[in-house]
């Protein structure tokens, strides 16, 4: 147990899928896992462990933002001996070629924040996903005919709908990274995984777009992300 997780060590699988939303964790458990059991509800951050095609999987909500993700992934890696965490979340498109409900596989995560400095005094703002894990996901996407778009993302500390002038932000992002989308958790996950010698990846579904002015409801965000969920689960079978 930790201050944030009430599970016994044996309650948590070696592979964890991390949606941000606790209700999305519940949705995945009830619709995709066999014999799911609730293994954490501290602060209503729900986690379930069950099996997918015979393999034990935990689905554990991370909450929103890098501080929340940083707490949960650190504790899962450090105190529950989790080997691999795959974030499955939503993002906003900063590339006009991305459409609503496209599935994005994150390769690099960039932040302007100081998560790395806070954790271990490093001036780091760009971190990669695990290459081997991403290779498995790409192969799995191909074999299951799921379109999956590799991309670099901006990991923000502020929900971009509330940013005073998004164009100023877009103009100061590093041009060489060709950032295609924004979300709020991947940097903390990737950086913590590398710090602790673990594996991490991130799949995202596009739910709004800076260019196309499309958006989806909260209910659609919860229930209409099945391609990403299936890709994460099928990839987990090969880990």
Task: Confirm if 66 and 155 have CB atoms less than 8 A apart.
Answer: yes
Percent of the chain exceeding pLDDT 90 equals 89
Q: Compute the Cα dihedral for 88, 50, 199, 185 and give only its sign.
A: positive
N-term to C-term CA, the chain: 26
141-161 in b/e form (b: 16+ CB < 10 A) is: beeeeeebbebbbbbbeeebe
Confidence band of 212 (pLDDT split at 50, 70, 90) = confident
Q: Give the pLDDT confidence score for residue 68 in this predicted structure.
A: 98
Instruction: Give the pLDDT confidence of 156-173 residue by residue, as tens digits.
Output: 999 988 999 989 999 999
Q: Residue 44 — pLDDT band, cuts 50, 70, 90? A: very high
Check: CB of residue 89 under 8 Å from CB of residue 109: no
**Band (215; pLDDT cuts 50, 70, 90):** low
Q: Give a three-class secondary structure readout of the chain.
A: CCCCCCCCHHHCCCEEEECCCHHHHHHHHHHHCEEEEEEECHHHCCEEEEEECCEEEEEECCCCCHHHHHHHHHHHHHHHCCCEEEEEEEEEECCCCCCCCCEEEEEEEECCCCHHHHHHCCCCCEEECCHHHHHHHHHHHHHCCCCCEEEEEEECCCCHHHCCCHHHHHHHCCHHHCEEEEECCHHHHHHHHHHHCCEEEEEEEEEEECCCCCECCHHHHHHCCHHHHHHHHHHHCCC
Distance CA 112, CA 235 (A): 30
Domains and CATH numbers, the chain: 9-236 (3.40.50.1580)
Active centre residues (catalytic): 208
Confidence (pLDDT) at 220: 65
Given a contact cutoff of 8 angstroms between Cβ atoms, the answer to whether 169 and 159 are in contact is no
| Angle subtended by helix axes 131-143 and 226-236, to nearest 10 | 110
Cα distance between residue 207 and residue 219, in whole Å: 11
Q: What's the token pair of residue 88?
A: 């499955």
Window from 40-49, 151-160, 183-192, 213-222 with minimum mean pLDDT = 213-222
CA-to-CA distance for 217 and 74, rounded, in angstroms?
31
Mean pLDDT of 126-136: 98
Look at 18 and 218; give whichever has higher pLDDT. 18
Is residue 181's pLDDT more than 70? yes
pLDDT of residue 217: 72
Residue 223 has pLDDT above 60, yes or no: no
For 133-151, how does the pLDDT look when each residue is reduced to its tens digit (9 = 90+)? 999 999 999 999 999 999 9
State the residue for tokens 């299951």.
Answer: 144
pLDDT score, position 173: 97
Q: Has residue 93 got a pLDDT over 70? A: yes
Indicate the average pLDDT of the chain: 95
Determine the Cα–Cα distance for residues 9 and 80; give it in Å rounded to an integer.
5
């Amino acid at each position: 147990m930790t201050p944030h997780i009430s599970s016994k060590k044996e309650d948590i699988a070696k592979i964890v899928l991390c949606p941000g939303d606790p209700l999305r964790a519940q949705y995945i458990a009830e619709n995709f896992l066999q014999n799911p059991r609730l293994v954490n509800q501290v602060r209503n951050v729900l986690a379930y462990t069950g099996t997918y095609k015979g393999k034990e999987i935990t689905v554990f909500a991370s909450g929103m933002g890098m501080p929340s993700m940083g707490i949960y992934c650190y504790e899962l890696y450090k105190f529950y001996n989790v080997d691999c965490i795959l974030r499955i979340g939503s993002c906003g498109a900063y590339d006009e070629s991305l459409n609503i409900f496209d599935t994005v596989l994150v390769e690099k995560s960039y932040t302007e924040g100081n998560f790395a400095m806070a954790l271990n005094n490093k001036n780091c703002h760009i971190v990669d996903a695990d290459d081997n894990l991403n290779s498995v996901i790409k192969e799995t996407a191909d074999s299951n005919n799921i379109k999956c778009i590799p991309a670099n993302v901006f990991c923000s500390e502020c929900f971009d709908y509330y940013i005073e002038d998004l164009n100023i932000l877009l103009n100061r992002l590093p041009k060489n990274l060709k950032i295609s989308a924004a979300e709020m958790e991947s940097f903390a996950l990737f950086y913590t995984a590398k710090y602790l010698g673990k594996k991490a990846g991130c799949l995202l579904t596009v739910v709004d777009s800076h260019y196309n002015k499309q958006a989806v409801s909260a209910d659609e965000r919860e229930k209409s992300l099945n391609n990403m969920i299936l890709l994460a689960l099928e990839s987990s079978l090969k880990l």
